[in-house]
Structure 1
Amino acid sequence: MSSDARTHILTRIRRSLGRGELPPAAQETLDARLAAPRPGIVPARAKGDRRELVERFVTMAEAAAASLDRIDGPDALPRVVAEWLARHNLAPEVVAAPDASLDVLEGRGTLTVKRGVAHPADQVSVTPCFAGVAETGTLVLVSGPETPTSLNFLPDNHVVVVRASQIVGGYEEMWAYLRDAGATPRTVNMITGPSRTGDIEQTIQLGAHGPRRLHIVLIDDEAA
């Protein structure tokens, strides 16, 4: 958000509350806090060295009912996606994000791949992600021309590709990473396991608001 837009919004809020402009000292303090947000208390589960964070991400993602494959490089991606589809008796057909990181899916093996947004008839989507959060096993996906949000919700089966180098400890680190990446995307989706809800008796139902299966392919790009 630009400074002019922020000023306009804050001015309207102050007017609705019957308050005047902020004193210069208070405005300086506010601007400083917005420019350099201070993290809150970070739990121990969000700390550790790189190897610990990757292993914790795997543990927490699987605890949230996501399945997971680990591969050494992107060349193995078509094979593990095809094998996962076969294990679940799904046709070898996917709709994949137009992101260049998924170009490896095309022209390899038996997969039929189309690129672009998802439609109601699509059964399986494949997307990259922005980050993985070790604290909770959460995937962070951002919207954009190369990563349509419909891929995250319409198909019953969602395959997400995450690199080990994208895994951060906690949410504070993820938000700092996102701010450093540049302009904030229109949508940030945080996905922990497949979609689920509980009925009045708290019986868990999968696929209520999105995919009933979430499969993560973790590329160990930090093995060296």
Structure 2
Amino acid sequence: MADAIHNRSAVLGAVRRALAAPAGDPQRKAAVDSRLALHPRNLVPQRGTLPEAKRIQLFKEMALAVNASVVDVARLEEVPDAVAAFLRSCNLPPRFRMGRDGYLRGLPWYRMPSLERLEGPAVVTDEASLSRAFGAVAETGTLVLTSGPGNPVTLNFLPDNHMVVVEADRIVGSYEEIWQRLRFLNGEAVMPRTVNMITGPSRTADIEQQIQLGAHGPRRLHIIIVGGR
């Protein structure tokens, strides 16, 4: 431990000397304080600045390109039907695990009495799970999920089949917008314990450079967009 601290101090000291920046330089401190307070955006690609309809379409295209499946439903009440349809299409039992998210709990599940809903963190025997996304990023087709009892992180990684509900108006153009929304809703210095960014099913190309799905998480990622029609 002492060696690690010494090595870190040596590296940081070498950087300071190379920059000719004395410790406690008021100008450098002011620059850092300003950046933390104002959250200036990086360069945002043009595809991250599209109007709503094109932004949602881009999100779908990018998600499909990374082997996710996507379905649109016009109204929230149609989500149970979409869940049942996905499970049938994959020849899976009509059973899935979800968290205690009030938004998902309040859906009209009575429309699909054959569906068995389990609640709580996922376990290794779960074949399918359902989460609600905090938002999504169109430029890469990425879902953004925050941790908590409403949507336990295990739902994202343990079951082979992961279904995610996202409202169309939560699909933003760029990552910068997602962080802005997180700060707005949670406060400047308060963040969820975990923010997971998911782009398509789990994959690896470690073996002979061949893409294999389901390496470290779900083999299938199914996205249900509400209100995107």
Instruction: Classify the TM-score, shorter chain.
Output: 0.7 to 0.9
Report what 1:91 is aligned to: 93
2:224 maps to what in 1? 217
Larger Rg: 2
Residue 166 of structure 2: aligned partner: 162
Residue in 2 that maps onto 1:5: none
Of the candidates 184, 190, 194, which is equivalent to residue 201 of structure 2? 194
Moved over 3 A (4+): 13-21, 105-108
| 2:111 paired residue number | 108
Over residues 166-185 of structure 1, what are the superposed CA-to-partner deviations in whole Å (9 max), with x where a residue is unaligned? 00001111121222221211
Equivalent in the alignment of 1:31: 33
Match of 1:207 in 2: 214
How far 1:80 moved relative to its partner?
Answer: 1.0
| 2:153 paired residue among 149, 153, 158 | 149
Q: How big is the shift at 1:14?
A: 7.3
Q: Which moved further from structure 2: 147-156 or 96-105?
A: 96-105
Paired amino acid for 2:127: Q
Kindly indicate whether the alpha-carbon contact (under 8 Å) linking 2:99 and 2:149 is maintained by their aligned counterparts in 1. no
Superposition deviation, residue 26 in structure 1: 2.7
Q: CA offsets, 1:30-63, max 9 Å, x none?
A: 1111011211111111111111111111111111
Give the structure-1-normalised TM-score.
Answer: 0.88
Distance in 1, matches of 2:166 and 2:108, equals 15
Equivalent residues, number: 210
Question: C-alpha deviations, 1:3-33, integer Å up to 9, x for none?
Answer: xxxxxxxxxx879845774233332221111
Q: Distance in 1 between matches of 2:76 and 2:120?
A: 20
Instruction: Give the alignment partner of residue 82 of structure 1, picking from 81, 84, 109.
Output: 84
Asked if the contact 2:96–2:116 (Cα under 8 Å) also holds between the matched residues in 1, the reply is yes
- Worse overlay, 21-30 or 169-178: 21-30
Is the contact between residue 14 and residue 21 of structure 1 (CA under 8 Å) also seen in structure 2?
no
Aligned equivalents of 1:62 and 1:144: distance in 2? 28
AA aligned to 1:39 is R
Partner AA of 2:102 in structure 1: A
Query: Is the CA contact (8 Å cut-off) linking 2:126 and 2:159 kept in structure 1?
Result: yes
Gaps of 5+ in 2: 1-7, 17-21
CA distance in 1, matches of 2:32, 2:9: 14
Q: How high is the TM-score relative to the length of structure 2?
A: 0.86
The 8 Å contact of residues 97 and 128 in structure 1, kept in 2 or not, is answered as: no
RMSD: 1.8
What code does the residue aligned with 2:219 have?
Answer: R
